[in-house]
């Protein structure tokens, strides 16, 4: 059983190169205290075996042994909040001010309400990751239900999103996005049409029980391309205790009258305890969004998603299969459907977008239909002497259909199909002294095809990689180092008529060209954490990663609808290389004041970007802005800071700031489309228990204000590169409210969230549709979450 938990923990922590260890903090001078004791039943004083003891706010967990005893060794002096949990008993929380080694015995009260339920209490414990990262899980993640993945991630410092209207948002990490960010969906590298900023990741956020963002180049473990960072979307591990459980989530959003229903059921049959399964599905429907002054025509969307998983797990080996489908239909904001340069200038001049819109759920042309299937098979095998071998195979199928305003035909104007196969073998070796690590080999095959108008050619690519990461922990030092080699072969297939070399002669133009590219390179990382004191640690990380140009950067050739730009690819592009340096100072586990400051600098050689040409492309539809892919050296420098201060037992004050500067060092000027400075202040009142018989638990109210500045760090002659100057800064007032309601034996979790409560009319610099319309106005979200146990 213990191994089983370890296995599941390891699996969920697999990409973080975490290996479950016996619990102990780092031994160091002055940090040699022991906190130990027993956990017993309050009534009959019998020892409780396998109870979980967690030091809240730390990574430390202990599980009681056969005598009901737990122990934490090598603790530093300080105040610890201890949380003891055991199935069928009420959780016990207590605070210990540790000055010397101490014995603390805990007696748990049987919980009548929990006696019939079986809970999985597997708090994951793993090594503190060295590279800068943020996590969102549990209650905080629940609060984001109904939002898109990118919107949910905006809660983290250093994260923002690049939007294309209200229905499409992509995450931005430290100023980088799209093909510079990897999304690992359930351990699989998400592969879709991510070249455009208007293609949101095809992932159902309800599948995730934890979102982790690794900030900065993280190419060693996850493969080339991750020069901006990695987003890990992790479902919770399959159930490991006998029984059946379910959860129903309902969300309603006022602004676009969105309704969401998501349900999950999982089980572990009694006679077959090695077998676990889970089924999950989500339905979502939203109508037109509304700014403070008008509706945005054709911004509705709908989603139908489902996933299923089944696993067979024994102590030494296990296999698991997972399948998910994401299916969405989303309208493209009608006011953004413009043609040539004159049309765009007319649209920018308008006070409000045309046509005049009302509320409707109907989705009209232009719209997109997107389907994403993921099949994943994985297996592990563990031996005493060698460690653990993980194997994984996955297949992804992504289909995107774009229906244009014109034509009226049943066929989409453009259809892409992209198929990706991934195979991975990773060996996590047994610790060699203080050294933990893993090495692996990965192989990916990808094929892209399209029907309809040309935008990105047919292509197939083979990518193979080898990596090795080791981590050394001793005393106050934690050091991690890794190296990776990748090789990519890319063959595109396109007709001459789809290249800038087209001749007008149909025989010559219909000749099929098959240009081939080979890219190979190394990625590396070296990082360390040093514990300056029990409450202060410093981590530094240096990493290098590379990215090969995407097929769209190499070969796109045509008018990009909605942006009025004629985009030319550049077949001579070379790889981009990033050198990323990050330093983080964390002040943690203090009674009142806690905080973290992180500074970073990312040097990118041969940074690929779209540069406008001064000569517009003249077509029969008029003049279009010409944009060509170019390369230059660039730097991204920034700061992320977060601080919390416990004013009283119930009142917590918090603040966050994210700043980033993007600079083109070749041309000696700022880059455009860089996120602006963000500041957030937050006051939160929480109350553990409320009402007679404690009907309401885990109650909280929080009010937050967010200030986003105007972008002032701009190149000269800005209007030669963009249609409009950056919009003014803005302030948004948001509030949240949450409680857990105990109705008889049933728990119901309720959440209420208000965004843009002052109904401020504003535009965001990173919204591609900021030329045409304001952002959405006030919106209230109500969430209900009902866990069920049978």
Candidates 195, 381, 670, 696: give the one binding other proteins (CB under 8 A). 381
Which is closer to other proteins, CB of 512 or CB of 743?
512
Task: Tell me how far apart the alpha carbons of residues 534 and 98 are, in angstroms, rounded to a whole number.
Answer: 12
Shortest distance, position 508 Cβ to other proteins, whole Å = 10
Candidates 93, 421, 601, 628: give the one binding other proteins (CB under 8 A). 421
Largest CA distance in the chain: 92
**Element counts in the chain: helices (H) and strands (E):** 7, 42
Q: Which stretch binds other proteins (CB under 8 A): 51-59, 406-414, 465-473, 672-680?
A: 406-414
**Tokens read off for 612:** 């406008």
Q: Which stretch binds other proteins (CB under 8 A): 264-272, 385-393, 691-699, 724-732?
A: 385-393
Shortest distance, position 655 Cβ to other proteins, whole Å = 46
Task: Tell me how far apart the alpha carbons of residues 713 and 727 are, in angstroms, rounded to a whole number.
Answer: 13
Task: Tell me how far apart the alpha carbons of residues 120 and 109 are, in angstroms, rounded to a whole number.
Answer: 18
Shortest distance, position 555 Cβ to other proteins, whole Å = 12
Candidates 65, 96, 111, 509: give the one binding other proteins (CB under 8 A). 509
Query: Could you tell me which of 247, 246, 285, 244 has the C-alpha nearest to residue 267?
Result: 244
Query: Could you tell me which of 489, 482, 493 has the C-alpha nearest to residue 458?
Result: 493
Strand pairing report for 565-568 and 210-215:
unpaired
Which is closer to other proteins, CB of 424 or CB of 480?
424
**Tokens read off for 291:** 């700014």
Q: What residues contact residue 630 under an 8 Å CB cut-off, 6+ apart?
A: 570, 608, 609, 610, 611
* Residue owning tokens 């100072």: 585
Which is closer to other proteins, CB of 49 or CB of 319?
319
Candidates 93, 395, 429, 710: give the one binding other proteins (CB under 8 A). 395
Ranges within 572-631 binding other proteins (CB under 8 A): 617-624
* Residues 534 and 29: beta-carbon distance below 8 Å: no
Query: Could you tell me which of 545, 498, 550, 497 has the C-alpha nearest to residue 523?
Result: 545
Query: Cis link prior to 355 (omega < 30° from 0)?
Result: yes
**Tokens read off for 734:** 């948001």
Query: Could you tell me which of 307, 314, 308, 237 has the C-alpha nearest to residue 272?
Result: 314
Shortest distance, position 354 Cβ to other proteins, whole Å = 5
Q: Which stretch binds other proteins (CB under 8 A): 27-35, 215-223, 502-510, 738-746?
A: 502-510
Q: Which stretch binds other proteins (CB under 8 A): 85-93, 250-258, 489-497, 754-762?
A: 489-497
* Residues 202 and 327: beta-carbon distance below 8 Å: no
Q: Which stretch binds other proteins (CB under 8 A): 180-188, 225-233, 246-254, 444-452?
A: 444-452
Shortest distance, position 379 Cβ to other proteins, whole Å = 6
Q: Is residue 624 exposed (0-12), middle (13-18) or buried (19+ Cβ within 10 Å)?
A: buried
Which is closer to other proteins, CB of 334 or CB of 674?
334
Q: Which stretch binds other proteins (CB under 8 A): 116-124, 338-346, 695-703, 719-727?
A: 338-346
Which is closer to other proteins, CB of 344 or CB of 604?
344
Candidates 34, 83, 279, 379: give the one binding other proteins (CB under 8 A). 379
Cα separation values, 282 from 304, 395, 406, 585, 684, Å: 6, 22, 32, 40, 31
Which is closer to other proteins, CB of 419 or CB of 687?
419
Containing 495, the helix (H) or strand (E) segment is strand 477-495
Task: Tell me how far apart the alpha carbons of residues 774 and 790 are, in angstroms, rounded to a whole number.
Answer: 48
Q: Which stretch binds other proteins (CB under 8 A): 32-40, 115-123, 243-251, 450-458?
A: 450-458
Candidates 132, 413, 638, 662: give the one binding other proteins (CB under 8 A). 413
Which is closer to other proteins, CB of 30 or CB of 355?
355
Which is closer to other proteins, CB of 620 or CB of 743?
620
Containing 83, the helix (H) or strand (E) segment is strand 78-85
* 566 is a site residue for other proteins (CB under 8 A): yes
* Residues 412 and 402: beta-carbon distance below 8 Å: yes
Shortest distance, position 338 Cβ to other proteins, whole Å = 6
**Tokens read off for 418:** 């992209």
Shortest distance, position 415 Cβ to other proteins, whole Å = 11
Candidates 93, 449, 661, 721: give the one binding other proteins (CB under 8 A). 449
* 497 is a site residue for other proteins (CB under 8 A): yes
Which is closer to other proteins, CB of 514 or CB of 591?
514
Total residues contacting other proteins by CB under 8 A comes to 70
Candidates 292, 339, 431, 715: give the one binding other proteins (CB under 8 A). 339
Residue 532 burial (CB count, 10 A): 12
Query: Could you tell me which of 751, 710, 758 has the C-alpha nearest to residue 734?
Result: 758
Which is closer to other proteins, CB of 4 or CB of 60?
4
Candidates 107, 415, 429, 453: give the one binding other proteins (CB under 8 A). 453
**Tokens read off for 189:** 């590298």
Ranges within 534-563 binding other proteins (CB under 8 A): 557-559
Shortest distance, position 345 Cβ to other proteins, whole Å = 9
Which is closer to other proteins, CB of 381 or CB of 530?
381
Containing 599, the helix (H) or strand (E) segment is strand 593-619
Q: Residue 653 forms beta bridges with which residues?
A: 645, 683
Q: What residues contact residue 418 under an 8 Å CB cut-off, 6+ apart?
A: 191, 192, 193, 396, 397, 398, 399, 446, 447, 448, 449
* Residues 582 and 600: beta-carbon distance below 8 Å: yes
Shortest distance, position 644 Cβ to other proteins, whole Å = 46
Candidates 422, 523, 676, 734: give the one binding other proteins (CB under 8 A). 422
* Residues 497 and 509: beta-carbon distance below 8 Å: yes
Alpha helices in 666-785 (DSSP H): none
Candidates 493, 535, 628, 661: give the one binding other proteins (CB under 8 A). 493
Which is closer to other proteins, CB of 618 or CB of 651?
618
Q: Binding pattern to other proteins, positions 673-692, x when CB under 8 A?
A: --------------------
End-to-end CA distance of the chain: 22
Q: Which stretch binds other proteins (CB under 8 A): 212-220, 278-286, 453-461, 699-707?
A: 453-461
Candidates 504, 614, 668, 717: give the one binding other proteins (CB under 8 A). 504
Candidates 82, 108, 251, 494: give the one binding other proteins (CB under 8 A). 494
Which is closer to other proteins, CB of 385 or CB of 717?
385
Query: Could you tell me which of 669, 673, 648 has the C-alpha nearest to residue 660?
Result: 673
Shortest distance, position 4 Cβ to other proteins, whole Å = 17
Query: Could you tell me which of 189, 172, 194, 182 has the C-alpha nearest to residue 218?
Result: 182
Candidates 259, 452, 616, 681: give the one binding other proteins (CB under 8 A). 452
* 445 is a site residue for other proteins (CB under 8 A): yes
Residues that bind other proteins (CB under 8 A): 316-317, 319, 337-340, 342-343, 346, 354-355, 377, 379, 381, 389, 391-393, 395, 404-407, 409, 411, 413, 419, 421-423, 425, 443-445, 447, 449-454, 457-458, 460, 493-495, 497, 500-504, 509-510, 512, 557-559, 566, 568, 617-624
């Amino acid at each position: 059983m213990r191994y089983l938990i370890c296995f599941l923990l390891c699996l969920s922590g697999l990409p973080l190169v975490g290996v479950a260890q016996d619990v102990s903090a780092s031994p160091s001078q002055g940090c040699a205290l022991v906190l130990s004791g027993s956990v017993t039943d309050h009534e009959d004083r019998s020892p409780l075996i396998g109870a979980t003891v967690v030091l809240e706010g730390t990574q430390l967990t202990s599980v009681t042994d056969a005598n009901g005893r737990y122990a934490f060794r090598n603790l530093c002096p300080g105040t610890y909040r201890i949380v003891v949990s055991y199935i069928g008993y009420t959780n016990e929380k207590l605070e210990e001010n540790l000055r010397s080694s101490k014995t603390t015995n805990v007696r748990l009260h049987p919980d009548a309400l929990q006696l019939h339920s079986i809970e999985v209490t597997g708090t994951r414990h793993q090594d503190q990751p060295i590279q800068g990262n943020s996590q969102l899980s549990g209650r905080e993640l629940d609060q984001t239900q109904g939002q898109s993945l990118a919107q949910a991630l905006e809660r983290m410092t250093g994260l923002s999103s690049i939007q294309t209207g209200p229905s499409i948002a992509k995450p931005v990490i430290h100023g980088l996005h799209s093909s510079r960010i990897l999304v690992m969906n359930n351990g699989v590298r998400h592969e879709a049409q991510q070249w455009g900023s208007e293609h949101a990741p095809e992932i159902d956020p309800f599948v995730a029980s934890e979102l982790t963002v690794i900030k900065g180049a993280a190419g060693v473990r996850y493969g080339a391309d991750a020069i901006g960072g990695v987003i890990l979307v992790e479902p919770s591990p399959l159930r490991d205790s006998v029984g059946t459980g379910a959860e129903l989530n309902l969300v309603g959003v006022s602004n676009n009258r969105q309704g969401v229903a998501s349900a999950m059921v999982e089980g572990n049959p009694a006679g077959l305890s090695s077998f676990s399964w889970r089924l999950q599905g989500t339905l979502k429907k939203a109508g037109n969004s509304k700014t403070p002054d008008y509706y945005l025509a054709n911004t509705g969307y709908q989603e139908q998603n489902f996933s299923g998983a089944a696993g067979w797990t024994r102590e030494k080996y296990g296999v698991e299969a997972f399948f998910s489908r994401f299916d969405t239909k989303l309208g493209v904001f009608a006011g953004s459907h413009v043609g040539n340069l004159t049309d765009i200038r007319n649209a920018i001049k308008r006070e409000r977008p045309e046509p005049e819109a009302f509320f409707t759920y109907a989705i009209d042309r232009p719209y997109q239909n997107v389907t994403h299937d993921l099949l994943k098979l994985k297996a592990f095998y563990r031996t005493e002497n060698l460690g653990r071998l993980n194997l994984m195979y996955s297949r992804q199928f992504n289909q995107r259909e774009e229906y244009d305003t014109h034509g009226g035909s049943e066929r989409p104007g453009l259809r892409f199909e992209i198929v990706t196969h991934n195979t991975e073998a990773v060996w996590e070796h047994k610790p060699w002294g203080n050294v933990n690590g893993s090495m692996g080999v990965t192989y990916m095959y990808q094929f892209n095809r399209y029907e309809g108008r040309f935008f990105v050619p047919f292509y197939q690519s083979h990518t193979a990689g080898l990596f090795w990461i080791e981590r050394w922990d001793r005393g106050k030092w934690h050091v991690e180092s890794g190296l990776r080699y990748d090789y990519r072969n890319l063959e595109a297939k396109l007709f001459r008529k789809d290249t800038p070399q087209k001749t007008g002669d149909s025989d010559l133009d219909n000749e099929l060209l098959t240009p081939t590219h080979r890219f190979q390179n190394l990625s590396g990382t070296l990082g360390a954490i040093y514990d300056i004191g029990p409450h202060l640690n410093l981590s530094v990380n240096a990493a290098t990663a590379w990215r090969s140009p995407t097929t769209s950067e190499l070969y796109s050739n045509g008018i990009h609808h909605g942006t009025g730009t004629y985009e030319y690819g550049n077949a001579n592009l070379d790889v981009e290389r990033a050198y990323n340096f990050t330093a983080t100072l964390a002040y943690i586990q203090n009674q009142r004041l806690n905080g973290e400051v992180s500074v970073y600098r990312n040097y990118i050689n041969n940074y690929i970007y779209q540069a406008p040409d001064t000569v517009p492309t003249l077509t029969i539809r008029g003049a279009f802005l010409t944009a060509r892919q170019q390369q230059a050296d660039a730097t991204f420098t920034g700061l992320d800071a977060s601080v919390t201060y416990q004013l009283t037992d119930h009142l917590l004050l918090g603040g966050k700031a994210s700043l980033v500067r993007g600079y083109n060092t070749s041309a000696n000027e700022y880059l455009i489309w860089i996120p602006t400075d963000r500041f957030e202040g937050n006051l939160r009142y929480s109350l553990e228990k409320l009402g007679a018989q404690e009907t309401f638990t885990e109650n909280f109210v929080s009010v937050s204000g967010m200030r986003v500045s105007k972008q002032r760090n701009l190149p000269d002659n800005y209007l030669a590169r963009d249609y409009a100057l950056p919009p003014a800064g803005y302030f948004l007032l948001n509030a949240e409210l949450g409680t857990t309601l105990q109705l008889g034996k049933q728990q119901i979790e309720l959440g209420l969230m208000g965004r843009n409560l002052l109904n401020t009319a504003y535009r965001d610099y990173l919204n591609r549709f900021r030329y045409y319309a304001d952002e959405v106005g006030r919106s209230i979200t109500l969430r209900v979450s009902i866990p069920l146990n049978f």
